[in-house]
Structure formats: C-alpha cells, structure tokens
Amino acid sequence: MIDACNDEHVPNANAGALRDILSRWPASMATLVLNEVECRLRLIAELRGKLDVVGVDEVHELQPLVARGLWMFGPEFESAEFTANAGMTRVIRKFLKDPTAVGSRNRPDFVVLPDSSIGLYACPSYDAVHEVNGIKHLALIELKTTGTEIGDTERSQVVKYVKELRNHGCFKAHTKIDCYVLGEGIQRGEEEFWNAGPQTTITLMRYDTLLEKAERRLLNLYQKIKHAPFLMDQAELSEEDDRHRPPAMNDIEAPWPH
C-alpha cells in the first residue's frame, strides 16, 4: 500500500498523508477502523434522511436501521451482541390478542402496531461453565412514525409489555431492561428518565436526540466530514429511495382489526 502512494494518480499531498498514516497504523488495522467508522457514519446519514420524511414507514425504513445501530443508545450496547428475540415478540403479539397484526407476515421480527413498531433485542447471560443461562440485558425499542408526539400514554403501554414478558418468565430478576420510545417530539413535562423497577428503565426520546447521541459517540465526525464522497453518495441514494418509495405498509396490508 505504501508503494501505491507513488502512483501518478495520487496527489502528492494525499500520498504524503497516506505514508504518515501507514507509518503509524498497520494497513489491516487502518482498514478495519475506517470501515467501521464509514459504516456508522453511513447509518447516521441514512437515518437522518429517512427522518426527514413525514409519516415514514417505521417498520421497513427505521427499525432495520435501529437494529444495526443499537450502539447509538450508549456504550452498554457495544459490549455484547444483541439479537432480535422472536420469542418475546410472539409474547407481546399474543398479549395484544392479534397474532396477525398489520404487516407481521412481512416482518415477523417486529411487533407491528397501527402507528408504531416494537423491536426486542437481547444478549445472553452465561453460567459458571459458560453455558447460556437466560438473558443478561434486554432492549425494548418502540419507534413511532415521524410526526408523532409521545408522552405518558406510550410510557405506560411499555410498562404493560414489560410486565407481560416478566409474567411469561422471559427473563430473570437480574436481567437489565432498557426501554426506549422514540418519536419526533415529547409532550411537555414528560421528558424525565423513568424507573419501572430496580432493573428496568423507560426513556422517551426524540429522534433528533438519538442522532445527536450517535454523532457525539463518533466524536462529531459526521459534521466534520459530511461532505466526504461516501456520505454524499449516501445522500443521493436516500433521495433515489424517496423517488421510488413503494406504498406504505399500512396501505397494502389488511386494515387494523377493531
């Protein structure tokens, strides 16, 4: 790679910068770090673009991005591998008494509601002989479509979900449970962090706040290099998606049963 710096197509200033980087970083490590940073910056750019659309289809547009970006919520989600928990998803569907809710056939990994969707992500705990022994940490994330304001009603509903999961023995007393409800705005007086038990927290959060947290976790790199070619390409892809966006899920599925 150092030899490549002498390529006639590489400007001298860039060639010198590459030599400097490669004198301090092994090529494989530099590639690993830059790929991870690029992946995260692309995710922020894609999420930001979708949140500009009022009434975005949160099931197909937002939940997959959040599933890839749990790191945005805090460092505690970096330390272990969180995966979607289909078993808990089925419990909540059953609790809602509608196992074939709108869109659930298309996205069985999410609980789909009329104006939101719920993703459950869990990482396992292990016993003394390193065998899986229940769930160590659960993240319950409910996404409201853009243009929605959230408050005590949404928080209270999440409490019911947690109680139902606990009643079904889905986790142990020591399981840490972090619940997030995201919307475009929060009703006045409902911004406070809320404990629903010694191991359970419920947080109402604006989408803008999530993006701010994500950018800070990346040392505000997004603002510093937002004109980088790969981010400009991502913006063009988002615009192309908007032009060719299919009908919203709720427009092509059976109506929500009453």
Q: Which residues are paired to 234 by β-bridges?
A: none
Task: Tell me the backbone φ, ψ of residue 94, rounded to 5 degrees.
Answer: -65, -40
- pTM of the complete model beyond 0.95: no
DSSP 100: T
Q: How far apart are CA 135 and CA 137, in angstroms?
A: 6
Q: How far apart are CA 245 and CA 222, in angstroms?
A: 26
- pLDDT 10s digit of each residue in the chain, 258 long? 444 444 555 556 678 888 888 888 888 888 888 888 889 989 999 999 999 888 888 888 899 999 999 999 998 898 778 999 999 999 998 898 865 555 555 677 889 888 899 999 999 988 888 788 889 999 999 999 988 999 999 999 999 999 999 999 999 888 999 999 999 999 998 887 788 888 999 999 999 999 999 999 888 777 777 777 767 766 566 565 555 544 443 333 333 332
Q: How far apart are CA 243 and CA 246, in angstroms?
A: 9
Structure tokens at 255: 């109506």
